[in-house]
A = this chain, B = another copy of it.
Amino acid sequence: MSTPWLGPDEQRAWRGWVEVHARLNARIHRQLQEASGLSLADYAILVELTSERASDASARMFELGERLAWEKSRVSKQVTRMEARGLVVRRHCPDDRRGSYVDLTDAGRAAIEAAAPAHVKLVREMFFDVVPHEDVLRLADLTTAVLARLDATD
């Protein structure tokens, strides 16, 4: 009944996956900080609030947590920090039991618009420039399959 250990190819893929993430995230965070004073966590929230899923550049706190896979307390602390810097505003809805909203401010929109080009450039240079397009398609499919499994077992 014991689970077989990972095979050599699987180990190589898994260690690569874990290591690339850690190092890419560290690099992206550093670049964001230097170029625009944003952290990777700031950027992730701003991306959510400017995505097409956020109507009127607004999202519920709990939805942000679900999309980013962050615990409630982490979302709350992050939003508090960003609110202090004028990037977002928290809006309470007394009539709505599903909790409060986070709204993007003009300053928040300006911040992500200023940061995005250099961010995309880095992602291209570190990732897409060295990954053949065929592998990009595979990766897209692979992540879709894993997300479906995560959803099915939540």
Interface residue SS majority, chain A: helix
A107 proximal to B (CB < 8 A): no
- B13 in contact with A136 (CB, 8 Å): yes
Q: Which of A102-154 contact B (CB under 8 A)?
A: 117, 120-121, 123-131, 133, 135-150, 153
Q: Cα distance A2–B121 when bound, in Å?
A: 9
Which of A9, A70, A131, A148 has the most B CB atoms < 10 Å from its CB?
A131
A40 to chain B, nearest CB (A): 10
Q: What residues of B have a CB within 8 angstroms of the CB of A26 in the complex?
A: 69-71
Q: What residues of B have a CB within 8 angstroms of the CB of A12 in the complex?
A: 140, 144
Q: How many residues of A contact B (CB 8 A)?
A: 56
A23 proximal to B (CB < 8 A): yes
Interface-side segment among A14-22, A55-63, A77-85, A88-96: A14-22
